[in-house]
A and B are shown apart, each in its own frame.
Chain A
Amino acid sequence: MKIYINNKELEVSGNEPLIEELNRNGYNIPSLCYAKEAKHQASCMVCMVKNIANGQMIPSCSTFPTEGMKIETDTEEVLSLRQMSLELLLSDHRADCEAPCTIVCPNKLDPAQILLYYDKTHPCPPCEGGSSHAEKDTPNTNKDLRESFPCYNCKAPCEKACRRGTVDKSVSIREIMIEMAENHPVLFENTPNGNSLPHREGRGGSVFSSKLGRYTNEEKEWLKEVYNDASHCLHCACEGRDKCKLREYSAQAGIKAPRYGVSSSLPVKEQIRVVGKLCYEPAKCIRCGLCVYNSEDGFTFHNRGFVMQVVIPEESKNHIKEQLATLCPTGALFLAP
C-alpha cells in the first residue's frame, strides 16, 4: 500500500507498525516504550507523528499504516510536542546522569568512578574494627606526582558540588583521589584516549545530563542510613547512562535544562536487587511497562495516575530473568557491575 510521509510517497506492506516503516526509510523516529519483538503498549508518546487526515497526534509505534495515510514527522508542531513529552518525563525522573563531582571537575577527572572503586575495595567504614583495606598495589614512587596530579593543588569544587553535602557532610573527594593516586596508580593509567587519568567521556554541548533536584528531609535520613560505604559517597552517577534512550533523545532534542520543576513521588536512590546482577531503581523508571508486559507474574503496576509505579514483589523476583534489563529504555533496570 501507499502512504505519504511529509508529502513523499512511500510503499509499505502494512504489516508492521508505522515506526518500523519510518525508521527503515531513514526517518529516525525516537521511541522509549516500544521494542521490536516485545509486548508493548503505547505510552511514552515520544514517537508521535501527525495524522493529517484528522489532525490527530498518534503514536507511530502502535499505529498501523492504512492505504493513502498522510503523515507528518518533522514539523515544528510534532517536534515540539515530542520534546515536551521528554521534558515531562524528565520532570519525573529523579536521577542524575552524571555525578555532580565529575561534572564540575576542572581537570576533567572522573572522581565518581574512583569513588566507586574506592568503596569496592574498602568494604567497611575504615574506622571500624576489622576493616579490610585493599592491598596497595605497587606504590607510586614518582616524585613528580605531587606536581603532575592535579588534585593536590585544587580547591576541590567537587566537594562543594557533592550531593552528600546536602545530606550531612560532603565526601572528602580530594583526599580520596590523592590516596588512590598514590596507592593505585594503575587506576589512572591505560584509560581511553591514552590519557593517563580516568577521563569522563562525552563532556560537551551534545550530552544531556539529567538532574535529580533536592532531597526531602525524610530522604536525607534514609540516605544517611543506607549509604554508609567507606567514602560515604552516594554514587550519584547512573549505571545505565550509556544505554539510556531518554538521555540520548533529550540530547538530540537539544534539551539543556529542565523546563518543569522536578516533583515526584518516587523513592530516590532506592536500588532493589532483583535477581542475579539485575537491579531496579524505581526513581529512574518512566513507567513504559515493557518489563511488566514481558515478565510473567513478575514486575507489575501499582496504583494509578501520577503516582503509578512499577514494582517487583519480593515473592515474584525469581520469575524474572536478567536479560529483561536490555528492554528497559532508561537506567531503571541495569546489571550491577
Chain B
Amino acid sequence: MACEDCKLNSPELVLESMVRRTDAIIDRIGGTRDKIIPLLQALQEEFSYLPSDALNHIYERTEIDRAQVISVSSFYSQFRMVPYGKHTIKVCIGTACHVKGASIVYDAFKRELNIPDDSITTNDQQYSIEKVACLGCCALAPVVQIDNKIFGHVQAGRVRDVLAEFEELQSQNGKENESQKREPQGEVRIGMENCCQASGTAEVRDAVVKACDELGINVKLKPISCVGACNQVPLIDVAMPNGEIVRYPNIKSEEVKEVLLHHFKPASKLRRLRNVILNHIDTFHTDTTWDNILWKPEQERTQHINTFLNGQHRISTEGYGKMNPLDIDEYIKLGGFEALKKALTSMKREEVIDEVLKSGLRGRGGGGFPTGRKWQMVAGNESDKKYVICNGDEGDPGAFMDRILLESYPLRVIEGLIIAAYAVGADEGIFYIRAEYPQAVIRIRKALDMCREKGMLGENILNTGFNMDIRVFEGAGAFVCGEETALIGSIEGKRGFPHLRPPYPAQAGLFGKPTLINNVESLSQISYIINHGAEEYAKVGTEGSKGTKVFALAGKVNHGGLIEVPMGTTLRQIVEEIGGGVEGGEKLKAVQTGGPSGGCIPAELCDAKVDFDALNQMGAIMGSGGLVVLSESSCMVDVARYFLNFTCEESCGKCTFCRIGIRRMLDILDKLSTGKATMADIDRLEELANSVKKSALCGLGKTAPNPVLSTLRYFRNEYEEHVQGICRTGSCKGMVKLVVTDDCLGCTKCARCCPSEAIAFTPYEKHEIDVTKCTLCGLCMDECDYKAIKYENLHK
C-alpha cells in the first residue's frame, strides 16, 4: 500500500507516524476492553494489517493487554499480522461456489499470478489471495472479489480475463459522468446489490448514464431493492410516466442505448436521427446484437423471470424491485413505520408481544424458537438496562438472505428492531453484521441516520416518550458468532466462545443484562404482523410454521436467486417451478438445506412440505435458509467432507467433542475421499457423529455432524463405493484421474488450454494426459468439443 510512511525515511519517523495514527484511532474508538474488535478493525483499515508497533502502543494506552489481543486477533479470521499486497483477491469457497469448483479457481489465480506455493502474495506485492467463507452471491457462483469489485461466474478458464478486466477498471477510475438537471422523462430501475454488480449491472448502469448523455435524454436512474432473480441479471425496469413498466432481464450494456431510444425521445431531432442511423449500423454490423433484446417478444423476454417470480409470497421482501432501499420517504409512503406508530401509540408492550406470540412466528435464524416467547422472557426480566440485538452474522456458506434483507430492506429490519425494543423494554439496539458484508453495513448506517433525522430513533420517538438508539457492530469473521452467546462474547471484546445456557441471554446477556437476540429475517416480518394482525399472518404457512420463509436458492439449478415462499411449499416446487429445474438437464439428486448445520434431503423426499418440523424429521434443519441444489454430478461424500472441513475450521475450539471429534471425523472422510478407508471406518464415523451430536456444548457442535449423518442415512451406498475406490462424479480428486478417450480427434484444444502442461501438443493424434502433472482442474473437459476427456477411478 502506498502509504504516507513510504515518504518517511528514518525508522524513528515511521514509528512516530504510526503512533500518531494509532493515537487518533484510540481517541476515536475508545480504549476499554470491549472496544478491541472495532479498534483492531480500524488499525487494519489504516495499516492494512496489525503492525506490532501499533499493538504495543495499544497495550500502553488502553485497558487492552497482550493476552487479549493475541486471543481475539487470532480467533477472528479477518485479522492478519502480515501486510498484504496492493490488491486482495478473495475467492469465495461457500457451498454454491464449492460445488461449482471454487478450489480450482483459487489454484488458477495462484498459477496465473505466479504466487509461490508457500505464499499468498505475489512477489511484486501487487496481489494477495485468500479464501473467504461466503461472499453471499451464491447464485453467481463461482464468485471472486478483488478489492471492492465482485466478479460472478468466474470459471477457472476466465481467471485471466477477470484480472484484465480488473486492471482496466483500475486505470479508468475517477472518470465521472456529467450530471443532468432537466425534468426526468421516466425512470430506469436497476438493482445495485453487491451480487448484481458482480454480474455486469454496474456496467449496464454506466451504459445508461453514458447513453443518456449522448442522446440528451434524461431519465431518473433509481437503485432498487433486490428482485431476487440473480439468474436474470443485469435486469432493468423502464418505468414510463404513465405507469407502464417494461422489464428487460439479461440486458447487455451494448443494448442499453437502443432500449432507451425505444422508450424515450432524445433532446433534438437531429441528434435523434443521427443516433438512429448510427445505432442501426451498429446493430447490423456486430454479432452481439443479432440476438437483440428489443426484437424478442415480451413473452420470450420475460418468461423465465415470470415463472421465477410466480409462486412467491412477499412479506420480508415486500416492495421488491420497486423501492429504493435508502429512500425513507418512499418507505413511509408505502406504509413504512405504520407498524411502529401503531405499536407505540395504541398498543401496550404486552399487546405487542401477544400479537407476535399469536402470529406463530418462529425464529428464522435456524432453531425455530417461537419469537414471541423469546420476547416474553426478556420482557419478564426486570432490569435497569436491556439490549436488543439484530443477528446479521449470516455465516452459512450458501446463504445470503440476511445480506439481501439488510441491503435491500434496511428500514424494515430497523423498524422491526425498534418495535422489539419497545416490546421488551430495551433502550439500546445493536446490529451485528458480519465483516464480509460491507455494503450491508454502509446501508444500515445510512438508514439509521435517516431514522434519527425523521425522529424514528433517539429520544422521544414519534413523540411517545419512548427512547432508544441503535448502533452497528461489525463481526470479524467467525461462523460460531451466529450462536447467540458467542455473539454476545464478541461484542464484549472476547473470543467467540459460546457458553453454557442457562443462563440464557434473556436472563443475563450482553454485559450481564437481559438481551433479546433476533435474526434479521424474523425482525423483517414484525411490521407485517403488527400492521395486518397475527391472524392474517398466521393464514400463511403450515400448522407448526407460520408465515413465509426467504430462501437463497443456489447450486446446480437453472434460476438461482433469492426467493420468499409460504412455509409448506415443497422443495420440488422450489427447484422445478421457481428454479426452473436442475442445471444442464441433469437429474435432481438432493437439496442441501441449513448449511453446515443442516443435511441433504434426497430427491425422493423433495415432495415433503418445507417447514421447521418436517426438515428436522428428515435429518436436516431449516437453518437460516440456504438451499443448495445438488445434481447427479455431485458427490455426497465430497459434500459431507466440504461441510465438515468448514465446521472444523470454524469450531471455536472450546469443547472436546467439537474441537477434536470433528477433526477425527474429518480424518475418516479424508481417508474415504482418497479411497483408503475401510467399511469399519464408516461405522466409526457414524459413532463419532452421533456422539458429537449428543455431547458438544453449543448449537454449532451439536449440529455439525448433520451433513454426515444425513448423507449416511440417504446415500450410504456412496460411502461404500468410496471404500471400494469408486467416486462416480470425479469430485474426490484423490481417487480419480483424467483420461482421453478414443473419441479424441487430436484437435489440440486441450493441450493449449492446460495450465500445467500435462497434455502434449500432438496434432491429429489422440492426446495423452500426464497424470504426474495434471492438477485435475477440468479445464480441458470444458474445452473439448468431442467430450473425449473423462474421469476414471484410480483404484479399480
- Interface of A with B (CB < 8 Å)? 41-46, 48, 56-59, 62-63, 81, 84-85, 88-89, 91-92, 260-261, 263, 286-287, 289, 292, 295-308, 311, 313, 315-316
Distance between Cα atoms of A168 and B654 in the complex (Å): 37
- Nearest A residue to B73 via CB reads A302
- Nearest A residue to B702 via CB reads A56
Question: Looking at the complex, which one of B68, B659, B664, B691 makes contact with A305 (CB distance below 8 Å)?
Answer: B659
Interface residues of B in 629-673 (CB under 8 A from A): 648-657, 659-664, 667
Chain B residues within 8 Å of A48, by CB = 695
The answer to the question of B499 belonging to the interface, with a C-beta cut-off of 8 Å to chain A, is: yes
- Nearest A residue to B664 via CB reads A260
Distance between Cα atoms of A295 and B497 in the complex (Å): 18
With contacts A45-B697, A305-B648 taken as known, whether A59 is within 8 angstroms of B66 at the C-beta atoms is no
B650 CB → nearest A CB, Å: 7
* Residues A62 and B656 in contact, CB atoms below 8 Å apart: no
Distance between Cα atoms of A302 and B72 in the complex (Å): 8
* Residues B67 and A299 in contact, CB atoms below 8 Å apart: yes
* Residues B656 and A43 in contact, CB atoms below 8 Å apart: yes
Question: Looking at the complex, which one of B68, B74, B662, B667 makes contact with A304 (CB distance below 8 Å)?
Answer: B74
Distance between Cα atoms of A295 and B432 in the complex (Å): 30
* Residues B694 and A306 in contact, CB atoms below 8 Å apart: no
Question: Looking at the complex, which one of A91, A297, A299, A302 makes contact with B660 (CB distance below 8 Å)?
Answer: A91
Question: Looking at the complex, which one of A91, A263, A302 makes contact with B70 (CB distance below 8 Å)?
Answer: A302
A305 CB → nearest B CB, Å: 4
Chain B residues within 8 Å of A56, by CB = 694
Distance between Cα atoms of A89 and B664 in the complex (Å): 11
* Residues A300 and B651 in contact, CB atoms below 8 Å apart: no
- Nearest B residue to A315 via CB reads B66
* Residues B663 and A306 in contact, CB atoms below 8 Å apart: yes
* Residues B67 and A300 in contact, CB atoms below 8 Å apart: yes
B300 CB → nearest A CB, Å: 51
Question: Looking at the complex, which one of B74, B499, B653 makes contact with A306 (CB distance below 8 Å)?
Answer: B653
Nearest 8 Cβ contacts at the A-B interface? A308-B653, A300-B67, A297-B65, A88-B660, A306-B663, A305-B651, A300-B71, A297-B67
Distance between Cα atoms of A58 and B694 in the complex (Å): 9
* Residues B695 and A45 in contact, CB atoms below 8 Å apart: yes
Question: Looking at the complex, which one of B478, B667, B691 makes contact with A263 (CB distance below 8 Å)?
Answer: B667
Distance between Cα atoms of A104 and B587 in the complex (Å): 60
Chain B residues within 8 Å of A91, by CB = 660, 664
Q: List 7 A-B contacts (CB under 8 A).
A: A46-B656, A48-B695, A300-B70, A303-B74, A304-B495, A305-B648, A311-B70
The answer to the question of B500 belonging to the interface, with a C-beta cut-off of 8 Å to chain A, is: yes
- Nearest A residue to B694 via CB reads A57
* Residues B661 and A41 in contact, CB atoms below 8 Å apart: no
Distance between Cα atoms of A59 and B66 in the complex (Å): 31
* Residues A44 and B500 in contact, CB atoms below 8 Å apart: no
* Residues B664 and A298 in contact, CB atoms below 8 Å apart: no
* Residues A306 and B75 in contact, CB atoms below 8 Å apart: no
Distance between Cα atoms of A150 and B618 in the complex (Å): 67
Distance between Cα atoms of A152 and B664 in the complex (Å): 45
Tell which of A57, A89, A92 has the most Cβ of chain B within 10 Å: A57
Question: Looking at the complex, which one of B651, B657, B667 makes contact with A45 (CB distance below 8 Å)?
Answer: B657
* Residues B67 and A92 in contact, CB atoms below 8 Å apart: no
Chain B residues within 8 Å of A46, by CB = 656
A290 CB → nearest B CB, Å: 13
* Residues A308 and B659 in contact, CB atoms below 8 Å apart: yes
Question: Looking at the complex, which one of B497, B655, B695 makes contact with A81 (CB distance below 8 Å)?
Answer: B695
Chain A residues within 8 Å of B652, by CB = 304-305, 308
* Residues B656 and A44 in contact, CB atoms below 8 Å apart: yes
Interface residues of B in 469-485 (CB under 8 A from A): 478
A330 CB → nearest B CB, Å: 13
Chain B residues within 8 Å of A263, by CB = 663, 667
* Residues A304 and B653 in contact, CB atoms below 8 Å apart: yes
A264 CB → nearest B CB, Å: 9
A118 CB → nearest B CB, Å: 37
Chain A residues within 8 Å of B75, by CB = 301, 303-304
Beyond contacts A85-B695, A300-B68, A303-B75: 7 other A-B pairs, Cβ-Cβ < 8 A, are A41-B497, A41-B654, A43-B697, A81-B694, A300-B71, A305-B650, A306-B660
Flag B488-513 by CB within 8 Å of A: 1 or 0 each: 00000001010110000000000000
Tell which of B66, B70, B660 has the most Cβ of chain A within 10 Å: B660
A46 CB → nearest B CB, Å: 8
- Nearest A residue to B56 via CB reads A315
Question: Looking at the complex, which one of A43, A302, A313 makes contact with B654 (CB distance below 8 Å)?
Answer: A43
Distance between Cα atoms of A260 and B691 in the complex (Å): 14
With contacts A42-B697, A297-B67 taken as known, whether A306 is within 8 angstroms of B691 at the C-beta atoms is no
Distance between Cα atoms of A313 and B68 in the complex (Å): 11
Chain B residues within 8 Å of A297, by CB = 65-68
Chain B residues within 8 Å of A287, by CB = 653-654, 659
* Residues B67 and A62 in contact, CB atoms below 8 Å apart: no
With contacts A62-B500, A297-B66 taken as known, whether A45 is within 8 angstroms of B495 at the C-beta atoms is no
Chain A residues within 8 Å of B695, by CB = 45, 48, 57, 81, 84-85
B69 CB → nearest A CB, Å: 9
- Nearest B residue to A297 via CB reads B65
Distance between Cα atoms of A52 and B655 in the complex (Å): 22
Tell which of B65, B499, B654 has the most Cβ of chain A within 10 Å: B654
Chain A residues within 8 Å of B478, by CB = 304
B393 CB → nearest A CB, Å: 15
A191 CB → nearest B CB, Å: 38
B541 CB → nearest A CB, Å: 27
* Residues A59 and B67 in contact, CB atoms below 8 Å apart: no
* Residues B656 and A45 in contact, CB atoms below 8 Å apart: yes
* Residues A59 and B697 in contact, CB atoms below 8 Å apart: yes
- Nearest B residue to A81 via CB reads B695
Distance between Cα atoms of A6 and B652 in the complex (Å): 33
B323 CB → nearest A CB, Å: 40
B708 CB → nearest A CB, Å: 16
Chain B residues within 8 Å of A57, by CB = 694-695
Tell which of A44, A59, A63, A308 has the most Cβ of chain B within 10 Å: A308
Distance between Cα atoms of A305 and B495 in the complex (Å): 12
- Nearest B residue to A298 via CB reads B67
* Residues A304 and B70 in contact, CB atoms below 8 Å apart: no
Tell which of A89, A292, A300 has the most Cβ of chain B within 10 Å: A300
Distance between Cα atoms of A45 and B495 in the complex (Å): 20
Distance between Cα atoms of A307 and B75 in the complex (Å): 11
Distance between Cα atoms of A287 and B650 in the complex (Å): 17
B791 CB → nearest A CB, Å: 29
Chain B residues within 8 Å of A289, by CB = 654
Chain B residues within 8 Å of A305, by CB = 648-653, 659
Distance between Cα atoms of A308 and B70 in the complex (Å): 12
* Residues A306 and B648 in contact, CB atoms below 8 Å apart: yes
Distance between Cα atoms of A316 and B70 in the complex (Å): 12
- Nearest B residue to A89 via CB reads B656
- Nearest A residue to B654 via CB reads A43
Flag B57-68 by CB within 8 Å of A: 1 or 0 each: 000000001111
Chain A residues within 8 Å of B697, by CB = 42-43, 45, 59
Distance between Cα atoms of A84 and B662 in the complex (Å): 13
- Nearest B residue to A80 via CB reads B691
Question: Looking at the complex, which one of A41, A286, A298 makes contact with B499 (CB distance below 8 Å)?
Answer: A41
B321 CB → nearest A CB, Å: 40
Distance between Cα atoms of A62 and B498 in the complex (Å): 13
Distance between Cα atoms of A286 and B655 in the complex (Å): 10
Tell which of A43, A299, A306, A316 has the most Cβ of chain B within 10 Å: A306
Flag B752-776 by CB within 8 Å of A: 1 or 0 each: 0000000000000000000000000
- Nearest A residue to B497 via CB reads A41
Chain B residues within 8 Å of A313, by CB = 66-67, 70
B90 CB → nearest A CB, Å: 20
* Residues B655 and A306 in contact, CB atoms below 8 Å apart: no
Chain A residues within 8 Å of B71, by CB = 292, 300-302
- Nearest B residue to A56 via CB reads B694
